Amino acid sequence: MTMLPPEVARVFISEDGIRRRVHALAAEIDATYAGDVPTLVSVLKGSLYFLADLTRALRCRHRLDFMAITAYGSSQAHTGSVRLLKDLDEEIAGRPVLLVDDVIDTGLTVAYLTRLLRARQPSSFRICTLLDKRVRRISENLPISFVGFEAPDVFLVGYGLDYRQTLLNLPYIGVLRQELINA
């Protein structure tokens, strides 16, 4: 039995559950990109754990690149207003691109990144997310091709998901205690 930190109410997805699903996603991605070399674009910092495990499980050759973004203040986070902090290092024109994210909830940030990356004319563009909070979706028609898990509308921590820059190193995904959310 795993000892949970006091901030975590329960485990949502176990470490073994994550590992098995990441390997299954890698197999799906390998089949999709057979004979091709996709560029996996990750959004820093949250998807770092997922990306590391996913790329180790992939058998297809691939490239990696990173972007970093921030919302314009908490009150505007729901408007989709974001600022690019770090852009790609490599050109993606004519190359297949797979955007790898840890969680998609409203979809506004991913919609912004989708527009930004598609404007650079990759040969194909797809999205892979570990967690899909479809219940919170505002932005529709996202090309989400690979989904690890459907997630409920709860505050999740661990495996890259943080609570005030902590708990992200948990090897599982847990549910934050409700009383801490607005504290």
Pairing of strands 173-176, 156-157: antiparallel
Please report whether residue 134 resides in a domain: yes
Query: Within a domain: residue 54?
Result: yes
Q: pLDDT digit string (tens) for 103-124? A: 999 888 899 999 999 999 999 9
Structural domain boundaries, residue 42? 15-72+80-151
Q: What is the CATH number of the domain that holds 146?
A: 3.40.50.2020
Residue 51 lies in a domain: yes
Identify whether 174 is part of a domain.
Answer: no
What is the spatial distance between Cα 15 and Cα 171, in angstroms, rounded to a whole number? 5
Number of domains present in the structure of the chain? 1
With contact defined as beta carbons under 8 Å apart, do 78 and 106 qualify? yes
pLDDT given for residue 138 in this prediction: 86
Is position 162 within any domain? no
105 is catalytic: yes
Residue 172 lies in a domain: no
pLDDT, one tens digit per residue, over 29-76 is: 999 999 999 999 999 888 999 999 999 999 999 999 999 988 654 443
DSSP conformation class of 139: S
End-to-end CA distance of the chain: 28
Q: Is residue 158 domain-resident?
A: no
In which residue are the tokens 């797809």 written? Answer: 126
Helices 15-32 and 48-57 cross at an angle (nearest 10°) of: 60
Pairing of the two strands 8-13 and 173-176 = antiparallel
pTM: predicted TM-score of the whole model, two decimal places: 0.91
Residue 43 lies in a domain: yes
- Among the listed residues 87, 105, 132, 162, the single catalytic one is 105
Please tell me the predicted confidence (pLDDT) of residue 72: 56
